[in-house]
Amino acid sequence: MLKFKCKSCGYIEYIPKKVVDSLDSLLGRPNFPPTFSCENCHSGSMYPINYKSPKGIVYKYDD
Ligand SMILES: [Zn+2]
């Protein structure tokens, strides 16, 4: 599981890596990690804390 954090409210959620991997391959944007809409505040986006994509790109959470 990968840890995701909402940039608006700080809510933490765990998302299965295979879900994130498939989303990453669908989006395919090298400088932008896969994100999910926040289920807590419904307005923010959730970013991975530390995620290495199948393409080898490492995304780290950045305040
Ligand atoms: Zn939120």
User: pLDDT digit string (tens) for 1-45?
Assistant: 999 999 999 999 999 999 999 999 887 677 789 999 999 999 999
pLDDT (average), residues 34-59 = 94
In the chain the beta strands, taken as DSSP E runs, fall at 2-6, 12-15, 36-37, 45-48, 50-52, 58-60
Best CA proximity match to 48, nearest among 33, 38, 63, 37: 33
pLDDT at 3 (0 to 100) = 98
Q: State if pTM tops 0.75.
A: yes
What is the 1 CA–ligand 1 centroid distance (Å)? Answer: 19
For residue 12, the Cα-to-chain-centroid distance in whole angstroms is: 11
What is the 11 CA–ligand 1 centroid distance (Å)? Answer: 5
